[in-house]
Protein backbone atom coordinates (compact mmCIF):
# COMPACT_ATOMS: atom_id res chain seq x y z
CA UNK A 1 0.00 0.00 0.00
CA UNK A 2 1.32 3.43 -0.94
CA UNK A 3 0.71 6.36 1.44
CA UNK A 4 -0.83 9.49 -0.05
CA UNK A 5 -0.87 13.11 1.13
CA UNK A 6 -4.05 13.69 3.12
CA UNK A 7 -5.83 16.65 4.70
CA UNK A 8 -7.36 15.15 7.85
CA UNK A 9 -9.83 17.09 10.00
CA UNK A 10 -12.14 16.26 12.89
CA UNK A 11 -15.30 17.67 14.49
CA UNK A 12 -17.02 17.10 17.83
CA UNK A 13 -20.70 16.23 18.15
CA UNK A 14 -21.51 17.27 21.74
CA UNK A 15 -25.11 16.90 22.90
CA UNK A 16 -26.84 18.34 25.97
CA UNK A 17 -30.57 18.21 26.61
CA UNK A 18 -31.26 17.18 22.99
CA UNK A 19 -29.24 20.15 21.69
CA UNK A 20 -25.92 20.19 19.80
CA UNK A 21 -22.91 22.40 20.51
CA UNK A 22 -22.19 24.88 17.71
CA UNK A 23 -19.40 27.44 17.39
CA UNK A 24 -19.11 30.64 15.37
CA UNK A 25 -15.77 31.26 13.66
CA UNK A 26 -13.99 34.40 14.88
CA UNK A 27 -11.62 34.81 11.92
CA UNK A 28 -10.40 33.39 8.67
CA UNK A 29 -12.34 32.56 5.50
CA UNK A 30 -15.37 31.39 7.54
CA UNK A 31 -15.50 34.34 9.95
CA UNK A 32 -19.02 34.74 11.35
CA UNK A 33 -20.17 31.35 10.09
CA UNK A 34 -21.30 28.48 12.30
CA UNK A 35 -20.19 24.88 12.56
CA UNK A 36 -19.13 22.17 14.95
CA UNK A 37 -16.05 22.48 17.16
CA UNK A 38 -13.35 21.26 14.79
CA UNK A 39 -9.73 21.25 13.75
CA UNK A 40 -6.87 19.37 12.14
CA UNK A 41 -5.06 16.23 13.20
CA UNK A 42 -1.40 16.78 14.11
CA UNK A 43 1.35 14.43 12.84
CA UNK A 44 1.49 11.30 15.03
CA UNK A 45 -1.91 12.03 16.60
CA UNK A 46 -4.97 9.78 16.42
CA UNK A 47 -8.00 11.60 14.96
CA UNK A 48 -10.00 10.57 18.06
CA UNK A 49 -7.39 12.27 20.26
CA UNK A 50 -7.37 15.35 18.02
CA UNK A 51 -11.12 15.90 18.37
CA UNK A 52 -10.87 15.84 22.19
CA UNK A 53 -7.91 18.26 22.06
CA UNK A 54 -9.69 20.63 19.66
CA UNK A 55 -12.88 20.61 21.76
CA UNK A 56 -10.86 21.55 24.83
CA UNK A 57 -8.88 24.24 22.97
CA UNK A 58 -11.95 25.87 21.40
CA UNK A 59 -14.59 25.43 24.12
CA UNK A 60 -12.68 24.66 27.33
CA UNK A 61 -14.44 21.36 27.95
CA UNK A 62 -13.08 17.85 28.33
CA UNK A 63 -14.78 14.88 26.73
CA UNK A 64 -14.50 11.25 25.71
CA UNK A 65 -15.06 9.91 22.22
CA UNK A 66 -17.92 7.42 22.14
CA UNK A 67 -18.09 6.79 18.40
CA UNK A 68 -18.23 8.19 14.90
CA UNK A 69 -21.29 10.03 13.63
CA UNK A 70 -20.22 10.74 10.06
CA UNK A 71 -17.42 11.19 7.57
CA UNK A 72 -17.00 13.76 4.80
CA UNK A 73 -14.58 12.89 2.02
CA UNK A 74 -13.62 14.79 -1.08
CA UNK A 75 -10.72 15.54 -3.40
CA UNK A 76 -9.86 19.20 -4.01
CA UNK A 77 -6.77 20.35 -5.90
CA UNK A 78 -5.75 16.68 -6.21
CA UNK A 79 -5.57 16.33 -2.40
CA UNK A 80 -7.75 13.82 -0.56
CA UNK A 81 -9.59 15.57 2.27
CA UNK A 82 -11.20 13.52 5.03
CA UNK A 83 -13.27 15.00 7.86
CA UNK A 84 -14.49 12.74 10.69
CA UNK A 85 -17.33 13.80 13.04
CA UNK A 86 -17.09 12.08 16.42
CA UNK A 87 -19.70 11.83 19.15
CA UNK A 88 -18.01 13.18 22.28
CA UNK A 89 -19.51 12.69 25.73
CA UNK A 90 -18.93 15.46 28.26
CA UNK A 91 -20.21 16.39 31.69
CA UNK A 92 -22.10 19.66 32.16
CA UNK A 93 -18.94 21.74 32.18
CA UNK A 94 -19.31 25.46 31.48
CA UNK A 95 -18.12 26.61 28.06
CA UNK A 96 -14.95 28.72 28.01
CA UNK A 97 -14.38 29.68 24.37
CA UNK A 98 -11.03 30.63 22.87
CA UNK A 99 -11.89 34.11 21.56
CA UNK A 100 -8.97 33.99 19.11
CA UNK A 101 -10.73 31.16 17.23
CA UNK A 102 -14.38 31.27 18.30
CA UNK A 103 -16.59 34.34 18.72
CA UNK A 104 -19.59 32.50 20.18
CA UNK A 105 -20.70 29.00 21.19
CA UNK A 106 -24.19 27.74 21.94
CA UNK A 107 -26.31 24.62 22.10
CA UNK A 108 -29.02 24.46 19.42
CA UNK A 109 -31.99 22.17 18.81
CA UNK A 110 -32.64 20.42 15.52
CA UNK A 111 -35.41 22.97 14.79
CA UNK A 112 -32.92 25.86 15.11
CA UNK A 113 -30.22 24.45 12.80
CA UNK A 114 -31.66 25.93 9.59
CA UNK A 115 -31.38 29.47 11.02
CA UNK A 116 -27.56 29.50 11.18
CA UNK A 117 -25.13 30.75 8.54
CA UNK A 118 -23.22 27.45 8.11
CA UNK A 119 -19.58 26.99 7.10
CA UNK A 120 -20.80 24.41 4.57
CA UNK A 121 -23.76 22.23 3.69
CA UNK A 122 -21.68 19.21 4.75
CA UNK A 123 -21.18 20.71 8.24
CA UNK A 124 -24.93 21.36 8.51
CA UNK A 125 -25.69 17.75 7.51
CA UNK A 126 -23.14 16.34 9.99
CA UNK A 127 -24.69 18.42 12.80
CA UNK A 128 -28.19 17.31 11.86
CA UNK A 129 -27.05 13.68 11.71
CA UNK A 130 -25.42 14.03 15.13
CA UNK A 131 -28.72 15.18 16.64
CA UNK A 132 -30.90 12.62 14.88
CA UNK A 133 -28.74 9.51 14.83
CA UNK A 134 -29.85 6.91 17.38
CA UNK A 135 -26.62 4.95 17.61
CA UNK A 136 -23.26 6.11 16.30
CA UNK A 137 -20.54 3.66 15.38
CA UNK A 138 -19.00 2.58 18.68
CA UNK A 139 -15.31 2.98 19.48
CA UNK A 140 -13.43 -0.20 20.41
CA UNK A 141 -9.86 0.36 21.66
CA UNK A 142 -7.42 -2.41 20.70
CA UNK A 143 -4.34 -0.33 21.67
CA UNK A 144 -3.47 -2.62 24.59
CA UNK A 145 -3.05 -5.56 22.19
CA UNK A 146 -0.79 -3.62 19.82
CA UNK A 147 2.41 -1.66 20.18
CA UNK A 148 0.68 1.49 18.88
CA UNK A 149 -2.68 3.29 19.15
CA UNK A 150 -5.33 1.18 17.39
CA UNK A 151 -9.05 2.06 17.32
CA UNK A 152 -11.90 0.44 15.40
CA UNK A 153 -15.35 2.02 15.02
CA UNK A 154 -18.10 -0.53 14.48
CA UNK A 155 -21.86 -0.86 14.62
CA UNK A 156 -22.84 -2.78 17.72
CA UNK A 157 -26.17 -4.49 18.10
CA UNK A 158 -27.98 -4.58 21.40
CA UNK A 159 -28.08 -8.19 22.53
CA UNK A 160 -31.22 -9.26 24.40
CA UNK A 161 -30.53 -11.79 27.14
What confidence tier does 154 reach under pLDDT thresholds 50, 70, 90? Answer: confident
Question: Has residue 78 got a pLDDT over 90?
Answer: no
Contacts of residue 102, defined as CB under 8 A and 6 or more positions apart, other chains included, come to 23, 24, 25, 26, 37, 58, 59
| pLDDT, mean over the chain | 90
Question: Quick one: DSSP state of residue 161?
Answer: -
The CA-CA-CA angle for residues 74, 77, 78, to 5°, reads 70
Q: What percent of the chain has pLDDT over 70?
A: 94
DSSP alpha helix (H) spans, 18-155: 47-59, 121-132
The CATH code for residues 6-154 is 3.90.79.10
What confidence tier does 20 reach under pLDDT thresholds 50, 70, 90? Answer: very high
Q: What percent of the chain has pLDDT over 90?
A: 65
Q: What is the mean pLDDT of residues 89-111?
A: 93
How far, in Å, CA of 133 to CA of 20, rounded?
12
Q: What is the mean pLDDT of residues 101-113?
A: 95
Question: Has residue 112 got a pLDDT over 90?
Answer: yes
Domain ranges in the chain are 6-154
- Partners of residue 73 on adjacent β-strands: 82
Predicted pLDDT at 19:
95
How far, in Å, CA of 57 to CA of 10, rounded?
13
What confidence tier does 157 reach under pLDDT thresholds 50, 70, 90? Answer: low
For 65, 88, 119, 134, 138, the CA distances from 157, given in Å and listed in that order, are 19, 20, 34, 12, 10
Question: Has residue 104 got a pLDDT over 50?
Answer: yes
Predicted pLDDT at 62:
96
| pLDDT tens-digit series, residues 23-73 | 999 999 999 999 999 999 999 999 999 999 999 999 999 999 998 988 998
How far, in Å, CA of 89 to CA of 51, rounded?
12
How far, in Å, CA of 120 to CA of 103, rounded?
18
Amino acid sequence: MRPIPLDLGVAAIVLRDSKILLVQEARGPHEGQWGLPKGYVNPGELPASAVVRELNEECGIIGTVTGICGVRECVRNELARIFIAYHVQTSNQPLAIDVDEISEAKFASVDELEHFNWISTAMFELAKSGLLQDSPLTKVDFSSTQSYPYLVHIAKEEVAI
